[in-house]
């Protein structure tokens, strides 16, 4: 099966053997993760799509791949349109498409360990209108035809120290126990890998760029827990750290363990726990309480130790990125560099810190037209030379034991066009508007999203991605429940009020297909704001990311006095935070890049 066409053909043959008329392939794992281990990259193996969100549906004659606006260009570059229909979500859901295309009376398969119960019900309803049936499979047919499918990682767990975590695992489990008491529940099933890592103060290496371990946990009302993980992944240090209150059991025992709660009230998250978990609990006689995982919000509200750790990580990471930007300014105009070579150089600067553990995602190193794909992933095949007249966009981050970073900057190679500078300045104005926002408690990111878009809207422009996502504390680079995005934006649940202690990205952008992309991204912290003569509590954002914003792309006359003041104050902070880490040459460059805007 050397080609993707061969793989599609093989899957259709396997479906015939399984007496199925179709199958749905999501990009997730048994934990509903956004980023998944190599063993779970079924969509990429089948189609060639390298994005981080999507799904496919395969029928005897039709096949479709479903992606949102972030991947409109990328999916067409990576997936063969001769064999796959490109279907935009959320305009068309998988269930909608199946309801239109599934054979009358057909049997459409799905893996119950890869879908939520809500998805199952939606798809089942859509198929019923065609007299078709949704069928849960015991063995995923993609796995049956994937001859060299990687094995799950065997990396051992590590301890996240209490001083970095800001609270012990016992304290966190006590909070979960309090929540269970409020719910009148006997236990909660934790399936999200970052929730388990946070609750138990452990980290892992089973998913690229995200320090989590493949595991499940069940926390009981007394604060004790069962951790289901491959036994050989637990070393003596982790065993001692977990103590007697956390019982370590083989991950393979998890499904059977769900069937022993007859007469008990068990909580499970309908967004993060797959359909198979709900089915197993109910078969065992449990009453299932469908409630959001209690760790989700607790994890999002960063404590002082996590905030201090992020500040240290961000200062260290910002200095590495600034050194890289100086290198770009010197070397890129000379020619001879490519997207891959530039990404490797940035990696060198981060590794020079001596404490980089991983990147927080695959670096988006994109020049020219590739920058117009917001989630572009450079490969040996797509690698483009960085040439004069282009904009080079780099979106990257680091994983450090004290924090996770994510930052985007744009570098002009040679002289930018007036249009490029106009678009960059509009993006900057939107970035400043959001960074400067003051809002009352109860405000959601959806309500603030338009702040960042207005300068683009005023010129008939927009961008097809959210404006902000939460971020973990040495955990996932994308973390909920908070986000800044339009209400109907894919990939999130109900709009979550922003609360003090939440960290979130501020990253408006603009993308001109076939030409260039622009994005300015900093991370910010939601914090209380007091006004001497105000009569209401307010919140605002403190910027956490420090790195120069390219002044050569700014049209100063387009900025208001308030915007200029913000930019000058920000750049002064950049020098104050990064300057002490710089040698003389880097410091002189930094001071020049951060001088007051003319």
Dump pLDDT digits (tens) for 295-326. Answer: 999 999 999 999 999 999 999 999 999 999 99
Query: 140-149 pLDDT, tens per residue?
Result: 999 999 999 9
The 3-class SS string of 109-163 reads EECCCCCCHHHHHHHHHHHHCCCCEEEECCCCHHHHHCCCCCCCCCCCCEECCHH
Strands 265-268 and 287-290: parallel
Of residues 351 and 530, the one with the higher pLDDT is 351
pLDDT tens digits, residue range 444-467? 999 999 999 999 999 999 999 999
Tell me the C-alpha distance between 294 and 47, whole Å: 36
- Of 73, 82, 118, 120, nearest in space to 98 by CA: 120
**Dihedral of the alpha carbons of 160, 163, 169, 175, in degrees to the nearest 10:** -130
H-helix segments, 387-491: 418-435, 445-457
Domain 301-593 sits in CATH at 3.90.230.10
4-145 under CATH 3.30.565.10, yes or no: no
Distance separating alpha carbons of residues 236 and 247, to the nearest angstrom: 14
Q: Distance between CA atoms of 247 and 258, rounded to whole angstroms?
A: 15
Q: Residue 117: which of 101, 98, 140, 136 has the closest Cα?
A: 136
Are 294 and 176 contacting, i.e. CB atoms less than 8 angstroms apart?
Answer: yes
Domain residues of the chain, as ranges? Answer: 4-145, 158-299, 301-593
Q: In this predicted structure, what is the pLDDT of residue 231?
A: 93
Edge-to-edge strands, sheet with 85-88: 85-88, 63-67, 55-58, 22-26, 107-110, 133-136
Asked if the model's pLDDT at residue 184 lies above 70, the reply is yes
Kind plus residue range of the DSSP H or E element containing 188: strand 187-190
pLDDT value for 488? 73
Q: Report which secondary-structure segment, H or E, holds 391.
A: strand 391-396
d(CA 490, CA 190): 23
SS3 490: coil
3-class SS of residue 389? coil
What are the tens digits of pLDDT across the range 17-35?
Answer: 999 999 999 999 999 998 9
The answer to whether the beta carbons of residues 508 and 434 sit under 8 Å apart is yes
Q: What confidence tens digit (pLDDT) does each residue in 502-534 have?
A: 999 999 999 999 999 999 999 999 999 989 888
Side by side, which strands form the sheet with 503-506? 438-439, 538-543, 522-529, 503-506, 468-470, 479-484
Note the helical H segments in 267-303: 275-283, 294-300
pLDDT tens string 380-408: 989 999 999 999 999 999 999 999 999 99
| Strand order through the sheet with 364-367 | 364-367, 391-396, 407-412
Radius of gyration of the chain from its Cα atoms, rounded to whole angstroms: 24
Q: Are the C-beta atoms of 72 and 87 separated by less than 8 Å? A: no
- pLDDT tens figures, 474-505: 999 999 999 999 987 765 556 899 999 999 99
Please give the share of the chain, as a percent, with pLDDT higher than 70.
99
What digits encode the pLDDT tens for the residues 90-139? 889 999 999 999 999 999 999 999 999 999 999 999 999 989 999 999 99
At 192-241, the pLDDT tens digits run 999 999 999 999 999 999 999 999 999 999 999 999 999 999 999 999 99
Question: Over 70: is that where the pLDDT of 1 sits?
Answer: no
Distance CA 310, CA 192 (A): 22
Q: Do domains 158-299 and 301-593 have the same CATH topology?
A: no
Domain spanning 158-299 has what CATH number?
Answer: 3.40.350.10
* Torsion (CA) 350, 354, 355, 357 in degrees, nearest 10: 60
pLDDT single digits (tens) 428-448: 999 999 999 999 999 999 999
> What is the average pLDDT value for the chain, to the nearest integer?
96
């Amino acid at each position: 099966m050397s080609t993707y066409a061969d793989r599609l053909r093989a899957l259709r043959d396997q479906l015939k053997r399984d007496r199925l008329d179709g199958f749905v392939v999501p990009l997730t794992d048994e934990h509903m993760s956004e980023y998944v281990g190599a063993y779970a990259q079924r969509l990429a193996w089948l189609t060639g799509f390298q994005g981080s969100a999507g799904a496919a549906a395969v029928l005897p004659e039709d096949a479709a791949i479903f992606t949102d606006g972030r991947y409109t260009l990328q999916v067409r570059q990576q997936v063969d349109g001769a064999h796959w229909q490109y279907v935009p979500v959320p305009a068309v859901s998988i269930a909608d498409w199946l309801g239109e295309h599934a054979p009358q009376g057909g049997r459409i398969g799905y893996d119950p360990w890869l879908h939520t119960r809500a998805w199952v019900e939606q798809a089942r309803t859509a198929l019923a209108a065609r007299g078709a049936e949704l069928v849960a499979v015991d063995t995923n047919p993609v796995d049956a035809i994937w001859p060299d499918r990687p094995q799950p990682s065997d990396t051992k767990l590590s301890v996240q120290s209490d001083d970095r975590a800001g609270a012990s695992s016992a304290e966190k489990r006590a909070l979960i126990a309090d929540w269970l008491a409020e719910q009148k529940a006997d236990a909660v099933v934790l399936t999200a890998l970052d929730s388990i890592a946070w609750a138990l103060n452990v980290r892992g290496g089973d998913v690229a760029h995200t320090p989590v371990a493949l595991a499940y946990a069940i926390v009981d009302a007394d604060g004790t827990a069962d951790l289901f993980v491959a036994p050989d992944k637990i070393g003596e240090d982790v065993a001692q750290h977990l103590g007697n209150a956390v019982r370590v059991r083989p991950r393979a025992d998890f499904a059977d363990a769900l069937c022993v709660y007859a007469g008990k009230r068990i909580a499970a998250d309908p967004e993060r726990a797959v359909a198979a978990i709900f089915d197993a609990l109910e078969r065992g006689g449990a009453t299932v309480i469908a409630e959001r995982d209690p760790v989700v919000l607790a994890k999002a509200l960063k404590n002082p130790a996590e905030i201090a750790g992020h500040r240290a990580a961000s200062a260290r990471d910002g200095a590495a990125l600034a050194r890289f930007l100086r290198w770009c300014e010197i070397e890129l105009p000379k020619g001879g560099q490519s997207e891959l070579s530039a990404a490797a150089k940035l990696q060198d600067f981060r590794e020079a810190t001596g404490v980089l553990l991983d990147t927080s995602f695959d670096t988006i190193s994109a020049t020219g037209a590739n920058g117009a794909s917001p989630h572009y992933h450079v490969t040996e095949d797509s690698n483009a030379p960085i040439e004069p007249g282009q904009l080079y966009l780099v979106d990257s981050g680091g994983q450090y034991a004290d924090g996770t970073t994510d930052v985007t900057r744009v570098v002009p190679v040679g002289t930018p066009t007036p249009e490029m500078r106009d678009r960059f300045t509009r993006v900057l104005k939107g970035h400043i508007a959001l960074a400067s926002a003051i809002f009352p408690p109860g405000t959601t990111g959806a309500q603030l999203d338009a702040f960042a878009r207005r300068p683009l809207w005023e010129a008939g422009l927009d961008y097809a991605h959210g404006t902000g996502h939460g971020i973990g504390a040495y955990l996932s680079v994308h973390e909920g429940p908070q986000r800044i995005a339009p209400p109907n934006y894919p990939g999130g649940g109900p709009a979550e009020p922003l609360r003090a202690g939440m960290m979130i990205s501020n990253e408006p952008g603009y993308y001109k297909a076939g030409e260039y992309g622009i994005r300015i991204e900093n991370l910010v912290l939601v914090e209380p704001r007091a006004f001497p003569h105000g009569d209401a509590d307010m919140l605002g954002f403190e910027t956490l990311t420090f790195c120069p914003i390219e002044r050569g792309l700014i049209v100063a006359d387009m900025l208001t006095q308030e915007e200029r003041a913000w930019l000058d104050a920000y750049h002064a902070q950049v020098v104050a935070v990064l300057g002490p880490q710089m040698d003389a040459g880097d410091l002189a460059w930094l001071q020049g890049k951060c001088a007051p805007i003319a």
